[in-house]
Amino acid sequence: MSSVQTTAEADAPLLEVRNLMVRYGRKGPAAVEDVSFSIARGETLGLVGESGSGKTTIGRAILGLLPVTEGQIIFDGRDITRASVAERRALQGDLRAVFQDPFSSLNPRRVIGDALTEPLRVAGVGRGQRIARANESLAAVGLPAGSFDRYPRQFSGGQRQRIAIARALVTDPRLVVCDEAVSALDLSTQAQVLNLLAELGAGADLGYLFIAHDMAVVEFLAQRVVVLYRGKVMEQGLTADVIRNPQSPYTRVLMAASPVPDPDEQARRREVWRALRNEAKAPAA
């Protein structure tokens, strides 16, 4: 009996979002409405849409930073929709985040080693082991020896994002929510960070919810994608299938908006984007 249960648990999604609704205020309009998706263990799911599409709202609801109006959030078989502060604290090692601006979340007066060891201290890990694990995590993201004792201002933007990734992974999490984690970086640094995320997730039982506005970025990293518009799901499926044969005009808008290095191709895409944008002003739900 126990082996059957273990197999069933292994086959169950790591994260399930069921009919999620989040309102602006108690009686305000819906920022997110009837959104459902799942993430398998070890899978990367892309959540893509323009500013105002609700993608960040969904990420913050999963992390417990915004209240849920309706629906359910199931993480590793547990309903965490309205988890208490104590329950969320117990989850913080398994459910981590990387945000767009890592500098704002790093205390400029403290060395980065403090930022990495703090979640381990809260989890009751001993000091020696905390330091060892923090240094291992920094090495894993390609930062040089001695980084532990340096201050945030001593690192470039790309390096600070690597620090944010190291901090997210230091607790050996099950799921990492990456909210526009590369959008503020230049293209070459962006590629480095994307490759790093892919390498760290490869072969590990680690899931990513990768929130972005750029379909090209999502195509590189995610096995499946959910396309959002004004808080609703336009379409979802295998990333390759959605990009090869998009069903929603809005998906085609996002694809045309992805930047390319060739200026002539970029100009052509801009014209396509304008035409598609008019077509997608009121897409079907």
Q: What is the CATH number of domain 2-94+173-279?
A: 3.40.50.300
In the chain, domain spans? 2-94+173-279, 106-172
pLDDT for residue 252: 85
DSSP string, the chain: -HHHHHHHHHHS-SEEEEEEEEESSSSS-EEEEEEEEEE-TT-EEEEE--TTSSHHHHHHHHTTSS--SEEEEEETTEE-TT--HHHHHHHTTTEEEE-S-GGGGS-TTS-HHHHHHHHHHHTT--HHHHHHHHHHHHHHTTPPTTGGGS-GGGS-HHHHHHHHHHHHHTT--SEEEEESTTTTS-HHHHHHHHHHHHHHHTTSS-EEEEEES-HHHHHHH-SEEEEEETTEEEEEEEHHHHHHS--SHHHHHHHHHS--S-HHHHHHHHHHHHHHHHHTSS---
Indicate the pTM of the whole model.
Answer: 0.86
pLDDT for residue 253: 82
**Which stretches of the chain score pLDDT less than 70?**
1-10, 203, 259-285
